[in-house]
Structure 1
């Protein structure tokens, strides 16, 4: 079984049945799929709402935690984000809970110029500074997990990246493959990062952000990996989404961080796009594959 395969197949007919049976006020609205990630299928319902349906059992508890935590974070999130409105229950037709949210307009920030990325550098830094200030005690009380992807274990992360790189070799230009290999061999030299605890989005990358017509970030979506962990895991976005010049603007707003945090941020800034590239290759999504490769190139540039 491929690691992105679903435990349950989400169909349009199933989604219509679930929404109409549990939320009859939404009956008759147009329902259409607008996305599918590793863990969830995403549907737009009418003009005002989106619904996320877990495809894998591993995502269920994350969805429940998201439903509890997002309302608590409303004063700590500075970008538009999907607010939970409809809490769907498991049933005979579908064994998992599901969530309906306010709709956030925008498109994935793919193929942007450096100038367009620069528009969002400061606001991304401010966004994470505020999010990371949320009290971790309250997060734990609401059920937030702690570093559930074990991202501070650099040794295991490096081993996983070496395996992924081997599988990606036929799909990368030689110079890009060799640049990643050189980085892993010569620049990732610690075994583990000293733990730190902040409230994390947990999975920041270009498929979990939205941009307006100018290319400026206008929303952050998919909060299913909310957890308490090291800030470097979120700060990866300063490396994968921003080039060195724009990165400086980001950290002027976020604040200075130590070298270990920068090391982890850069490592995750390479790791997540490698995962996105592997999935894009598997499902033959050329656009996502190219943006993932560009993200890796940016992450490897500069300090």
Structure 2
């Protein structure tokens, strides 16, 4: 009989009074810190704490496991990647089995509001190289999930159907869909699995006023898997053309770049169709922007 613990069910975010008390316990050396909720994002209960910190609370057992793993991951990659990642300055449980962490607040604006410049593209290339440079033993010690590559043929069929529906709604021309390319349907074999951020999107990329990438947020979904997944995240964040430049600078193969851009294109078409037809509640302007960036070029 399995002795596995029962996963903790989701709970509601705590009230502000509880958050303020928690901040006082986690940061006893600080005083009179302003505590207010963060609007962007939404996967965690997240609060600004003064000008220098961010408090993140997990709301179920699985999220708690991922957050504890994320804290270890960020520490492990720090010597290898040229972009900033938040540093945990205090951590604990805010409720039984539910983790929380106070992270350093990184400078910069979301890539959804500020474009990544040429030097910022170099920062992203350095990040991809750095993730591949992490020693296998260090990656294994993190206990990250291992994910196989997604099959592109089924995704393509779903994207074709989605684009036809979007065209009928006036959301996207059916001409977006390129000619069938059997050579791009499956990853080259053998595919080397690598450490991935696995959730690269504009709100997780912080950009300085000079267009540099000053930080990458939210590593909780990191896995070991298909390198094309991070390429796909960049394509919907900074556009397909910029992503191609980044992948070339990072030393990724053209096949991985092509596969990643296709993943982004298929995913954005499917997600936008789901939103238009009421099966998704993501912001419509964001999904439109992501589709345009992934399909440009």
Q: If the length of structure 1 is used for normalisation, what is the TM-score?
A: 0.77
**Residues 42-57 of structure 1 aligned to structure 2 (within 5 Å):** 42-57=46-61
1:22–1:252 CA distance, 2 compared to 1 (3 A): closer
Q: How far has the Cα of 1:45 moved from its partner?
A: 1.0
Task: Quote the Cα distance in structure 1 between the aligned partners of 2:72 and 2:113.
Answer: 34
The question of 1:297 aligning with 2:292 is answered yes
Looking at structure 1, the residues matched to 271 and 219 of structure 2 have their Cα atoms a distance apart, in angstroms, of: 17
**Contact 2:22/2:94 (8 A) holds in 1:** no
- The Cα shift of 1:241 comes to 3.3
* Alignment-derived partner of residue 152 in structure 1: 150
Superposition map of 1:1-303 within 5 A? 7-10=10-13, 11-26=15-30, 28-35=32-39, 37-92=41-96, 95-110=97-112, 117-147=117-147, 150-154=148-152, 157=155, 165=162, 169=166, 173-176=170-173, 178-179=174-175, 182=177, 186-187=180-181, 190=185, 194=189, 195-243=191-239, 245-259=241-255, 261-270=256-265, 273=268, 285=283, 289-302=284-297
Query: Aligned partners of 1:60 and 1:275: how far apart in 2?
Result: 30
Supply the distance in 2 between the matched residues of 1:105 and 1:90 (Cα, whole angstroms): 26
Long gaps (5+) in structure 2: 1-8
Provide the C-alpha distance between the structure 1 equivalents of 2:141 and 2:127, rounded to a whole number of angstroms: 23
Q: Distance in 2 between matches of 1:279 and 1:98?
A: 32
* Secondary structure in structure 1 of the residue aligned to 2:109: coil
* Post-superposition offset of 1:203: 0.8
Taking the aligned partners of 1:174 and 1:279, their CA distance within structure 2 comes to 11
How much has 1:161 moved relative to structure 2?
A: 5.7
Q: Distance in 2 between matches of 1:157 and 1:121?
A: 28
Contact 1:161 1:271 in 2 (8 A): yes
Give the whole-Å Cα distance in 2 for the aligned partners of 1:220 and 1:238.
12
Deviation at 1:151, TM superposition (A): 4.7
Matches of 2:112 and 2:36 in 1, distance apart?
A: 22
Task: Provide the rounded CA distance (Å) in 2 between the counterparts of 1:14 and 1:227.
Answer: 33
- Is the Cα contact below 8 Å between 1:51 and 1:100 reproduced in 2? yes
1-side partners of 2:117 and 2:248: how far apart? Answer: 16
Distance 1:131 1:75 in 2: 10
Q: CA deviation at 1:234?
A: 1.1
Cα 1:256/1:21, change in 2 over 3 Å: closer
2:123–2:212 Cα contact (<8 Å) kept: no
Unaligned 5+ runs, structure 1: 1-5
- Superposition deviation, residue 35 in structure 1: 3.4
Contact 1:63/1:224 (8 A) holds in 2 = yes
Other-structure match for 1:3? none
Output the CA distance in 2 between the equivalents of 1:252 and 1:192.
18
